[in-house]
Amino acid sequence: MAFLNDNYLKLKAGYLFPEIGRRVRVFCEANPEAARRLIRCGIGDVTEPLPPAVIAAMHKAVDEMAGRETFKGYGPEQGYEWLRATIAKNDFPAARGCAVADDEVFVSDGTKCDTGNILDILGHKNKIAISDPVYPVYVDTNVMAGHTGEANEAGVYGKLVYLPCRPSNGFIPEPPKRHVDVIYLCSPNNPTGAAANRPQLEAWVKYALEHKAVIFFDAAYEAYIADANLPHSIYEIPGARECAIEFRSFSKGGGFTGTRCAFTVVPKSLNAQTKSGELIALHPLWARRQTTKFNGTSYISQRGAEALYSPEGKAQADGIIKLYMGNSDTLRVGAKKAGLKVFGGVNAPYIWVRTPKGVTSWQAFDKILDEANVVITPGSGFGSRGEGYFRISAFNSRVNAEEVARRLQELKW
Amino acid sequence: MAFLNDNYLKLKAGYLFPEIGRRVRVFCEANPEAARRLIRCGIGDVTEPLPPAVIAAMHKAVDEMAGRETFKGYGPEQGYEWLRATIAKNDFPAARGCAVADDEVFVSDGTKCDTGNILDILGHKNKIAISDPVYPVYVDTNVMAGHTGEANEAGVYGKLVYLPCRPSNGFIPEPPKRHVDVIYLCSPNNPTGAAANRPQLEAWVKYALEHKAVIFFDAAYEAYIADANLPHSIYEIPGARECAIEFRSFSKGGGFTGTRCAFTVVPKSLNAQTKSGELIALHPLWARRQTTKFNGTSYISQRGAEALYSPEGKAQADGIIKLYMGNSDTLRVGAKKAGLKVFGGVNAPYIWVRTPKGVTSWQAFDKILDEANVVITPGSGFGSRGEGYFRISAFNSRVNAEEVARRLQELKW
């Protein structure tokens, strides 16, 4: 009889966002009137329409699909060369010291897929370090791959090395004293909204080079960096090309959550070892993984992504980012006025809020849903050290952000 | 130091189609004149534009992305409910005895991804049976997952159970005498063009139920079935809901190779066992896999796929399929007239051709490329028992198909 993957049975409850969706559905069915004034600041999903330049490019691409001479069938699994070149030139400028080659860029349909699938090319003996709190996909995909033990009641898995993120380190973890082989870093951070500065990333690159570890650097929120002194790519740090894979997405900066396009950079100078200790580059392994298990991203989505780099596309996307970051200001100020302790929200579209004393994350979730009719994300869904916090997403209209700020101030805890 | 996945080092050469692409590029650069008359019948990629109904639906979807009220962010990871319901109703009609529930349908961006990713939810102790010749992705993804030993010189991997496909069984393998846990079947078949009849599928379902095995049934070419007596889904066979997962794609039937949309059916009544022998349904495991490691298919592509089920969409797609199957006739007849032994091409858009005596598959590939300036696919790329064959794809214009048939007859072997 066929065997299933027992590791799946170690996973706790549902994936966070489906569970939030379920609770919201139950609430709305029971409270149809409150449901009408519901404002969703839970899942980090954009709300503004796609930039006009993207819309125009996608209409043109759809038209191409209608003509025999311009029709596009299978594209290269790693993405079209024109998109890879545009990404390399714009996002990794030599002037910032972070140049990458066009063929080190792998276009995909999402960073969620890539951060999960990247484990395919690694072995099973690695010591894995993960921030806490953290984007749950990093933990869950390692559980599924059998890289962890069982979870305890707080949701802490055996074998993983958790890197505490707390107010005292500005929610950017320090390298551990002990040895690890693989490190997940996300900056600007989901869920805490913290962004790593240059010395912090330098410390991580130094650690990774010393330990010959690989950093998975998730920069999906890079477009939200406002502080001119912060690095946008880990490759701005010397040595990172020998130790880091960077993940980027058009979802949050370009509004592509429903359109699907992202990319991952695997430098050719990044090695890992075989069981017998031989050094081998990871680039050809990821190329083999993608050509074998993926068939490329929709041509239409790729043309849409390309349009984000045109002068009009850039200006339009920047306008949308400014809108969201204006919301972020509104929400930060509102939550502070409500007497809450607030973090993040300056270089990221997320506000990370301390719950009032004695209130758990899910209690805060239920209270804010019931009484303010606002959906937030419970911090404990991001890891045990997220307990006692909740995340407010700034992805919304200005009117809604202002209304949420107002309702937060009305809440009695 | 980080460990890589050593299993990748067992993989032979490049994935088949990139290798073909490489040889064609080398040929074209060396022979610019011949390159101008090159006709590609290699990779199974469609050539006709998308049906007008799909184009209209995708333009409408792009327009929706331009308005705040109609914009679509993250959709359900498993696909929109309207698409899942449309698929269940149209492709699995109760009248054919193959009803599936809407939520047993998982929309994805491709069957290549799904047939690879499905291994995520299985354990590592399964005995795996694979047809020979076969779509290389089945083998390669099992190699990557560590389910095989090393390959010998003929590319035969240890631990896999190969099911011979030969003229004497009509290229549809019989169930083996020995026990296996997982079986890959592809019908209509890539590469041989054979399609399984009802008794053949009944024998497989019987075997799978007896052995409590899981069948991975790849029906990506289902739309090409011409014979009214052939089953279109394995669920037409009683008992299949207890032993089979079915993969379908819009790539070949709807021209979506560059648009990306497919789906996989996981019946809720399909179980596998844990290490300790407990029976657990695979449906929630696949749901967990997809919600954790995938973020849904482009909204625009899903609306395009939905349009294939409208009366206009169906008629237009049928017209394109008829064109390709007309090509298939032309190529079959042409290859026969050229004195070659020909299989397939009646219920599938592939012609499977025996090479003349003493000519290997790659020798035939090179000769046909050099002398006829036609790209075919060498049979040995599909497995050791594909040696001595080549595949001609019928995905082309009628003019090109006729020209290929003519050139094949001019070849001197």
Three-state SS sequence of chain A: CCEECHHHHHCCCCCHHHHHHHHHHHHHHHCHHHHHCCEECCCCCCCCCCCHHHHHHHHHHHHHCCCCCCCCCCCCCCCCHHHHHHHHHHHCCHHHCCCCCHHHEEEECCHHHHHHHHHHHECCCCCEEEEECCCHHHHHHHHHCCCCCCECCCCCECCCEEEECCHHHCCCCCCCCCCCCEEEEECCCCCCCCCCCHHHHHHHHHHHHHHCCEEEEECCCHHHCCCCCCCCCHHHCCCHHHCEEEEEECHHHHCCCCCCCEEEECCCCCEEECCCCCEEECHHHHHHHHHHHCCCCCHHHHHHHHHCCCHHHHHHHHHHHHHHHHHHHHHHHHHHHCCCCEEECCCCCEEEEECCCCCCHHHHHHHHHHHHCEECEEHHHHCHHHCCEEEEECCCCHHHHHHHHHHHHHCCC
Chain B CB contacts of A6 below 8 Å? 123, 274-275
Question: Based on the domain organization, do A103 and A229 belong to the same domain?
Answer: yes
- End residue of a domain, out of B311, B327, B351: B311
Question: Based on the domain organization, do B149 and B44 belong to the same domain?
Answer: no
Distance from CA of A358 to the nearest CA of B (A): 31
- Residue B43 confidence (pLDDT) above 90: no
- End residue of a domain, out of B311, B327, B358: B311
- End residue of a domain, out of A287, A309, A331: A309
- Residue B13 confidence (pLDDT) above 70: no
Question: Based on the domain organization, do A197 and A243 belong to the same domain?
Answer: yes
CB contact under 8 A, A285 and B4: yes
Q: Which of A43, A121, A295 sits opposite B74 (nearest CB)?
A: A43
What pLDDT is stored for residue B18 in this prediction? 78
Question: Based on the domain organization, do A154 and A186 belong to the same domain?
Answer: yes
The CATH number linked to A142 is 3.40.640.10
Question: Based on the domain organization, do B181 and B274 belong to the same domain?
Answer: yes
Question: Based on the domain organization, do B179 and B200 belong to the same domain?
Answer: yes
Question: Based on the domain organization, do B66 and B45 belong to the same domain?
Answer: no
What pLDDT is stored for residue A14 in this prediction? 61
The CATH number linked to A16 is 3.90.1150.10
What pLDDT is stored for residue A16 in this prediction? 77
CB contact under 8 A, B4 and A273: yes
Question: Based on the domain organization, do A124 and A192 belong to the same domain?
Answer: yes
Confidence of residue B16 (pLDDT cuts 50, 70, 90): confident
How many folded domains does chain B comprise?
Answer: 2
Question: Based on the domain organization, do B206 and B340 belong to the same domain?
Answer: no
B413 in any annotated domain: no
Q: Which of B63, B109, B291 sits opposite A109 (nearest CB)?
A: B109
- Residue A368 confidence (pLDDT) above 80: yes
Which domain covers residue A352, as residue numbers? 9-49+312-410
Percent of chain A with pLDDT over 70: 99
Cβ contacts from A onto B, under 8 A: 273
Percent of chain B with pLDDT over 70: 99
A3 in any annotated domain: no
Chain A CB contacts of B124 below 8 Å? 3
Question: Based on the domain organization, do A20 and A161 belong to the same domain?
Answer: no
CB contact under 8 A, A63 and B48: no
Determine the average pLDDT of the residues in A172-193.
Answer: 98
A249 in any annotated domain: yes
B4 in any annotated domain: no
- Residue B39 confidence (pLDDT) above 90: yes
> CA of A71: which chain B residue's CA is closest?
B49
What pLDDT is stored for residue B14 in this prediction? 61
Question: Which one of A108, A249, A260, A395 makes the best mutation probe of the B interface by having the most chain B beta carbons within 10 Å?
Answer: A260
pLDDT tens digits for A39-74?
999 888 999 999 999 999 999 999 999 999 999 999
Distance from CA of B361 to the nearest CA of A (A): 22
B370 in any annotated domain: yes
B289 in any annotated domain: yes
pLDDT tens digits for A265-303?
999 999 999 999 999 999 999 999 999 999 999 999 999
- Tell whether B322 lies on the interface with A, counting CB pairs under 8 A: no
Question: Based on the domain organization, do B329 and B275 belong to the same domain?
Answer: no
CB contact under 8 A, A289 and B144: yes
pLDDT tens digits for B207-256?
999 999 999 999 999 999 999 999 999 999 999 999 999 999 999 999 99
Distance from CA of A337 to the nearest CA of B (A): 30
What's the mean per-residue pLDDT of chain A?
96
Q: Which residues 139-178 on chain A approach chain B with CB closer than 8 angstroms?
A: 140-141, 144
A343 in any annotated domain: yes
Confidence of residue A329 (pLDDT cuts 50, 70, 90): very high
A371 in any annotated domain: yes
Question: Based on the domain organization, do A33 and A159 belong to the same domain?
Answer: no
